[in-house]
């Protein structure tokens, strides 16, 4: 699944910016460390489905909307 974490991180970053959140906002809201949030967006870590839901909740979007389509990575 090479590239999945990166594609997911990019998608989270894109939607975060569209909705006007900072990394700090999302990190705080999803109870994760600010630097870990940066690592998620850079695709350096493989988050759990639970963390996906928590980030989606803070961003006010559906968790499925954060998932990159299979042909985009």
Residue 73 and residue 53: Cα distance in Å, rounded? 21
Residue 21 Cβ vs a second copy, minimum distance, rounded to whole Å: 19
CB of 7 to a second copy, least distance (A): 10
Q: How far apart are CA 15 and CA 28, in angstroms?
A: 17
Per-residue tokens: 53: 């839901």
CB of 11 to a second copy, least distance (A): 11
Which parts of this chain interact with a second copy (CB under 8 A)?
1, 4-5, 8, 46-50, 52-54, 62-64, 67, 70
């Amino acid at each position: 699944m090479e590239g999945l974490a990166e594609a997911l991180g990019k998608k989270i970053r894109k939607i975060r910016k569209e909705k006007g959140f900072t990394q700090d906002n999302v990190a705080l809201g999803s109870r994760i460390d600010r630097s870990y949030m940066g690592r998620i967006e850079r695709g350096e870590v493989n988050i759990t489905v639970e963390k996906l839901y928590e980030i989606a909740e803070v961003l006010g979007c559906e968790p499925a909307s954060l998932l990159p389509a299979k042909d985009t990575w």
